[in-house]
């Protein structure tokens, strides 16, 4: 049932380990140029409980960019064996360095995640994720090998090749982003392949982009598998920060490796359990580039109570969205995930949709283009108008304003074999 002993820790053991490791992190981080100044001479010995983390400064993405390329390093350059760098489309990118010990602990954590959902030595694991500077590819790859799986580094895209590999080598487990999973299921259908009959698939790791419970169920139904949600970010290694267990009732954060807070993004005070706030993370095991109280901008909540699986590591809900993904229209705060949740609950809706933001003069408008399954896209305009009005009403109930809904035929909206772009902002600034 368990990959390692850390999964069986009690709450008291978890918090005791966190305090010890937090002291070590503060001591180690102070060796970097950035934290030598940011920590301001805080004595690690003064950290006596988990709550004392609030005495430490927050770290932001801008801090990482300002410290580029090596302002957060705590060991000499010759001790690092891996480097991942963000795309850096605005300003400096962010660079994350790994020592061999960092890579080993990351692989262990990822293997722990995969073992928790029933993947075992002997499984054939197809990693349908981008490699290179993106942490999702290599992080999960090494976790699968650490667990003992036959690992196929198929990478992202090239759907025909993915299908051939899956058939020829009897792939049993995959890593795939949710938007591509729906695209891939559609490609299987077009190829005349029934995944339940023709493939050996049974489990999928999904992550890298937010998705709803409705989307997960569509993936499971379309591929005939169980799909498990995951959470990670490159600043905290990459994937493997939190993962669902077999219960599929929230993601367990590996609290022996990460100290997680959920704060009000405005006041920066902790929110009550069950309330939504911004995830703030501290790495507890990284030796070469520890990061303290990192503001992820991801919005989430702690799930109250204990998981039926028996693990005491706290659970977080699926990610609602990012604080900087929030759309404001007519004074209303809206997240793309709210719209997806409504659309994916409707049986007539296909796999793709697009949110367009525009303005008429100074009035902001939202247009939601929705693909409709072929069997429902009929010539009866009354039926289509009724469906459009039903979708519009459901969206108004969820987001508290009325978007314009356009129904389009299946496979007419732009598709991507990478991370889906769901929002296009065409608004002019005044």
pLDDT at 89 over 60: no
Q: In this predicted structure, what is the pLDDT of residue 15? A: 97
> Looking at the structure, do residues 106 and 146 belong to the same domain, yes or no?
yes
> Looking at the structure, do residues 220 and 285 belong to the same domain, yes or no?
yes
Mean pLDDT of 352-366: 87
Tell me the percentage of the chain whose pLDDT exceeds 90. Answer: 78
Residue 322: which of 85, 51, 61 has the closest Cα? 61
Question: At 34, is the pLDDT very low, low, confident or very high (cuts 50, 70, 90)?
Answer: very high
Mean pLDDT of 145-149: 98
> Do the domain assignments include residue 430?
no
- Out of 324, 354, 379, a domain closes at 324
Question: At 88, is the pLDDT very low, low, confident or very high (cuts 50, 70, 90)?
Answer: very low
Q: How far, in Å, are 47, 152, 258, 306 from residue 225 at the CA level?
A: 45, 19, 30, 26
Residue 255: which of 225, 290, 285 has the closest Cα? 285
> Do the domain assignments include residue 341?
yes
> Looking at the structure, do residues 192 and 213 belong to the same domain, yes or no?
yes
Q: In this predicted structure, what is the pLDDT of residue 429? A: 57
For 113-126, how does the pLDDT look when each residue is reduced to its tens digit (9 = 90+)?
999 999 999 999 99
Q: In this predicted structure, what is the pLDDT of residue 87? A: 58
What integer best gives the mean pLDDT of the chain? 93
> Do the domain assignments include residue 291?
yes
Q: In this predicted structure, what is the pLDDT of residue 211? A: 82
> Looking at the structure, do residues 288 and 190 belong to the same domain, yes or no?
yes
* Residue 328 dihedral angles phi and psi, to the nearest 5°: -115, 115
The tally of domains found in the chain comes to 2
> Do the domain assignments include residue 79?
yes
The residue written with tokens 């902790």 in the block is: 270
> Do the domain assignments include residue 131?
yes
> Do the domain assignments include residue 82?
yes
> Looking at the structure, do residues 149 and 184 belong to the same domain, yes or no?
yes
> Looking at the structure, do residues 301 and 363 belong to the same domain, yes or no?
no
Distance of CA 219 to the CA centre of its chain: 16
Both tokens of 196, joined, read 């339940």
> Looking at the structure, do residues 29 and 177 belong to the same domain, yes or no?
yes
For 213-262, how does the pLDDT look when each residue is reduced to its tens digit (9 = 90+)?
988 999 999 999 999 999 999 999 999 999 999 999 999 999 999 999 99
> Looking at the structure, do residues 303 and 353 belong to the same domain, yes or no?
no
Q: Spell out where 74-133 has E strands.
A: 80-85, 95-99, 124-127
For 62-87, how does the pLDDT look when each residue is reduced to its tens digit (9 = 90+)?
999 999 999 999 999 999 999 998 75
150/154 Cα distance (integer angstroms): 12
- Out of 269, 294, 324, a domain closes at 324
In terms of pLDDT, which residue wins out, 337 or 101?
A: 101
For 181-215, how does the pLDDT look when each residue is reduced to its tens digit (9 = 90+)?
988 999 999 999 999 999 999 999 998 777 889 88
Q: Give the lowest-confidence range in 157-166, 171-180, 186-195, 334-343.
A: 334-343
> Do the domain assignments include residue 302?
yes
* Residue 329 dihedral angles phi and psi, to the nearest 5°: -130, 125
| DSSP structure class, residue 191 | T
- Out of 290, 324, 358, a domain closes at 324
> Looking at the structure, do residues 358 and 217 belong to the same domain, yes or no?
no
Both tokens of 68, joined, read 């580029």
> Looking at the structure, do residues 253 and 265 belong to the same domain, yes or no?
yes
CATH number for the domain harbouring residue 390: 3.30.300.30
332/45 Cα distance (integer angstroms): 46
Q: What does pTM read for this prediction?
A: 0.86
> Looking at the structure, do residues 303 and 361 belong to the same domain, yes or no?
no
Following DSSP, what letter does each residue of 198-210 receive, concatenated? H----EEEE-SS-
Q: How far, in Å, are 70, 95, 242, 356 from residue 281 at the CA level?
A: 20, 17, 12, 32
> Do the domain assignments include residue 198?
yes
CATH number for the domain harbouring residue 315: 3.40.50.12780
pLDDT at 90 over 80: no
Question: Residue 147 CB: number of other CB atoms within 10 A?
Answer: 24
Q: In this predicted structure, what is the pLDDT of residue 320? A: 84
> Looking at the structure, do residues 330 and 319 belong to the same domain, yes or no?
no
**Domain extent for 396:** 326-425
Helix H segments across 336-426? 336-344, 381-399
């Amino acid at each position: 049932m368990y990959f390692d002993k850390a999964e069986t820790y009690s709450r008291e053991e978890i918090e005791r380990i966190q305090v010890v490791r937090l002291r070590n992190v503060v001591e180690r981080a102070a060796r970097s140029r950035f934290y030598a100044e940011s920590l301001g001479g805080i004595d690690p010995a003064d950290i006596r409980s988990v709550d004392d983390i609030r005495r430490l400064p927050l770290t932001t993405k801008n801090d990482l960019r300002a410290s580029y390329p090596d302002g957060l390093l705590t060991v000499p350059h010759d001790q690092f064996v891996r480097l991942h760098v963000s795309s850096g489309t605005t300003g400096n990118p962010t660079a994350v360095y790994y020592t061999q010990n960092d890579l080993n602990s990351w692989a262990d954590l990822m293997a722990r995640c995969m073992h928790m959902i029933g993947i075992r030595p002997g499984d054939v694991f197809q990693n349908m994720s981008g490699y290179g500077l993106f942490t999702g590819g290599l992080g999960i790859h090494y976790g699968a090998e650490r667990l003992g799986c036959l690992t196929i580094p198929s990478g992202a895209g090239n759907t025909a090749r993915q299908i051939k590999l899956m058939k020829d080598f009897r792939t049993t487990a995959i890593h795939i982003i949710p938007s591509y999973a729906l695209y891939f299921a559609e490609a299987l259908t077009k190829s005349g392949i029934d995944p339940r009959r023709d493939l050996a698939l049974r489990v999928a790791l999904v992550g890298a982009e937010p998705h709803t419970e409705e989307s997960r169920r569509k993936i499971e139904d379309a591929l005939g598998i169980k799909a498990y949600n995951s959470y990670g970010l490159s600043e905290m290694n990459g994937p493997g920060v939190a993962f669902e267990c077999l219960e599929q009732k929230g993601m367990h954060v590996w609290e022996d490796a990460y100290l997680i807070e959920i704060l009000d993004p405005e006041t920066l005070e902790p929110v009550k359990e069950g309330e939504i706030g911004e995830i703030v993370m501290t790495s507890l095991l990284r030796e070469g580039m520890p990061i303290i109280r990192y503001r992820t901008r991801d919005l989430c909540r702690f799930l109250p109570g204990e998981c039926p699986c028996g693990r005491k590591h706290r659970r977080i809900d699926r990610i609602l969205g990012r604080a900087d993904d929030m759309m404001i229209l007519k004074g209303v705060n809206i997240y793309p995930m709210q719209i997806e949740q409504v659309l994916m609950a409707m049986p007539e809706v296909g796999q793709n949709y697009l949110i367009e933001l525009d303005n008429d003069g100074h009035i902001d408008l939202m247009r939601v283009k929705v693909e409709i399954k072929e069997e429902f896209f009929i010539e009866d305009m009354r039926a289509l108008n009724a469906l459009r009005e039903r979708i519009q009403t459901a969206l108004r109930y969820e987001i508290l304003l009325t978007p314009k809904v356009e129904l389009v035929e299946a496979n007419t909206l732009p598709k991507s074999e990478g991370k889906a772009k769901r929002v296009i902002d065409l608004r002019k600034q005044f």
